[in-house]
Structure 1
Amino acid sequence: MTRPLNRDRSPEELEDDRWPAPSGDATRLVATAHARRRKPIGELTVEDMRLLIGQNEGLPPALEVLRWIRATGP
């Protein structure tokens, strides 16, 4: 039996890995990845998950969301 998915917590919270704010000269991709890591996983869009997975960041929480979608889908 799988544990319930807490969709109110962000990848940062779930991984217990807080990043400092991106530097002023950070690329748009870096700034976006930082922002998505702070977003509750229940609010992540498919595009958000694609970005995180593509950057190999927040992967365990993103995979949990995908498992939840698969388990509760049509």
Structure 2
Amino acid sequence: MEHLLHLDRTLDELDPPRWTLPDSGVTRLMERVHALRRVPLRELGPGDLRMLVTQQVALPYVVPLAVRLLLEEPLLDASFYEGDLLLETVRLPDAVWAVLPDLGVRLSAVVAALPEAAVAELPSGAAEQFGRFVAGFGARR
């Protein structure tokens, strides 16, 4: 995964411009996202990655980290339920995968291999999301 460079650096360093401190009165979510931009990449946990993916923050740096985890454990429970990081990652816009096509192909193979029983236990619509994601990479293999 050649995209996993500079793990000792932060998103603020890698994804300019640096974000200023959030204004008072912002939501806890936005406070947390701002704080995560100042954490070295190697210290970001699954829940942190899920939050950054969901908020679509610095995706060229965050998606490779998320995919690395998902290739090892696709149904990882990052924050709320088994498979939450995977589901948020496959929901990303096609433009993200256009920049990271090799990761998309690798992740689509993992998604395609998921047991039906495991997918059935995920939130409603997950199977359809996975199907769309895998279909989007069918021609790229």
- Is the pair's TM-score, using the shorter chain for normalization, greater than 0.5? yes
Deviations 1:14-59 (A, max 9, x none): 1122011001111100000000111110000000000001001121
TM-score of the pair, normalised by structure 1: 0.80
Aligned length: 72
Q: Which has the higher contact order (CA 8 A, sep 6+)?
A: 1
**Radius of gyration: which is bigger?**
2
Structure 2 residue runs of 5 or longer lacking an equivalent are 73-141
Which position in structure 2 is the counterpart of 1:8? 8
Asked if the contact 2:19/2:34 (under 8 Å) is kept, the reply is yes
Which position in structure 2 is the counterpart of 1:44? 44
Q: What is the deviation of 1:11?
A: 1.1
Q: RMSD in angstroms over aligned alpha carbons?
A: 2.1
More helix by share: 2
Q: Which amino acid aligns with 2:40?
A: P
Asked if the contact 1:10/1:38 (under 8 Å) is kept, the reply is yes
Provide the C-alpha distance between the structure 2 equivalents of 1:51 and 1:70, rounded to a whole number of angstroms. Answer: 15
**Matches of residues 1-74 of structure 1 in structure 2 within 5 Å?**
2=2, 5-69=5-69
Structure 1 residue runs of 5 or longer lacking an equivalent are none
List structure 1 segments (4+ residues) > 4 angstroms apart after TM superposition.
67-71
TM-score of the pair, normalised by structure 2: 0.45
Matched position secondary structure for 1:60: helix
